[in-house]
């Protein structure tokens, strides 16, 4: 089947419903679409359906009803080879340790583009090396996967997905297992990839992530799936509905953007400036406490 990667939208999800047990739907009648270069971050509490939705889009689970289209083609009609050329998928859990060298594991992302029984060539290895460099992993290239930490293996999986060069990239909690610096590097990488024309979908437990990358957000809250621009959709009531906490989304002048906060249930704790916040930042929080 020929798939025109220039056709719009990149992804269309129409009236999608899924249940693991008959009649007990995890989600019902989901509807959204994504264009080239857009980012969608999916938020929700544990067990809300984030990974399940991603697995449906990846063709690993079959929805009870509804349609998923990639570049106008019904997902159910696309072969596994063509699907790999359409999308790359990074699962939530790091792969088990193996004896492959990092560079060899990364270049496996080129498999959908190789002829049967063909080996990766010089250009394939160059791409793999470039994406390892983008993720600051070049120093690991000759190590074996079983020598890496869980966070390092997670990043190598992302490098392999990028080496696949599929126009749609699915990332299930890509910042999981990563330190604070690498979490933000991944978000920056997502923004850069979107600017290059890639379309990205990521699940996350970081409510600030959609505000940092911009783009769209999908929110599992109160038994519904809400979809729209992240700057508009993320509010205090939305955080409360998702996580059952008292939340605020405040505009913070010192960082030049909105940020999400969970208000500590202990008023004594809330009255004390947190470590690392100066007096002006604390005043800004107090001034904006009722701003959503």
Q: What's the pTM?
A: 0.87
Neighbours of 62 (CB within 10 A): 11
Query: What mean pLDDT is reported for the chain?
Result: 89
Decide if pLDDT at 285 tops 80: no
- In a 13 Å sphere around the CA of 25, the CA atoms on its Cβ side amount to 14
Q: Which domains does the chain have, with CATH numbers?
A: 11-244 (3.40.50.300), 245-292 (no CATH)
Q: Give the CA radius of gyration of the chain.
A: 20
91, 154, 213 from 111: Cα distances, Å: 18, 19, 30
Per-residue pLDDT reduced to its tens digit, 122-161? 999 999 999 999 999 999 999 999 999 888 998 999 999 9
Q: How confident is the model at residue 176 (pLDDT cuts 50, 70, 90)?
A: confident
Angle between helices 150-163 and 180-195 (to 10 degrees): 10
Say if CB 290 and CB 251 are below 8 A apart: no
Percent of all residues in the chain with a pLDDT value above 90, rounded to a whole number: 76
Q: How confident is the model at residue 248 (pLDDT cuts 50, 70, 90)?
A: very high
Q: How many Å apart are CA 44 and CA 206, to the nearest integer?
A: 10
Considering only CA atoms, which of 69, 59, 28 is closest in space to residue 170? 59
What pLDDT is stored for residue 284 in this prediction? 43
């Amino acid at each position: 089947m020929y798939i025109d990667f220039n056709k719009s939208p990149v992804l269309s999800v129409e009236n999608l419903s899924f249940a693991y047990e008959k009649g007990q739907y995890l989600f019902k009648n989901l509807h959204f679409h994504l264009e080239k270069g857009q980012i969608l971050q999916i938020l929700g509490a544990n067990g809300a359906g984030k990974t399940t939705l991603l697995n449906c889009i990846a063709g690993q689970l079959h929805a009870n009803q509804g349609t998923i289209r990639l570049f106008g083609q019904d997902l159910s009609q696309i072969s596994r080879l063509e699907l790999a050329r359409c999308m790359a998928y990074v699962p939530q859990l790091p792969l088990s340790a193996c004896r492959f060298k990092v560079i060899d594991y990364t270049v496996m992302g080129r498999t959908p583009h190789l002829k049967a029984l063909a080996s990766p060539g010089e250009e394939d290895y160059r791409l793999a090396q470039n994406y390892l460099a983008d993720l600051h992993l070049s120093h690991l290239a000759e190590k074996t996967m079983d020598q890496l930490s869980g966070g390092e293996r997670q990043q190598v999986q992302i490098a392999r997905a990028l080496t696949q060069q599929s126009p749609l990239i699915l990332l299930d909690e890509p910042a999981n297992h990563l330190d604070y610096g690498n979490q933000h590097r991944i978000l920056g990488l997502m923004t850069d990839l979107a600017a290059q024309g890639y379309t990205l979908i990521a699940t996350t437990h970081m409510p600030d992530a959609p505000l940092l990358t911009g783009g769209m957000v999908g929110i599992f809250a109160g038994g519904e799936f809400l979809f729209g621009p992240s700057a508009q959709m993320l509010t205090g009531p939305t955080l409360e509905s998702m996580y059952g906490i008292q939340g605020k989304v405040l505009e913070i002048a010192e960082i030049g953007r909105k940020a999400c906060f969970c208000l500590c249930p202990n008023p004594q704790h809330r009255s004390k400036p947190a470590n690392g916040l100066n007096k002006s930042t604390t005043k800004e929080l107090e001034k904006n406490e009722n701003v959503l």
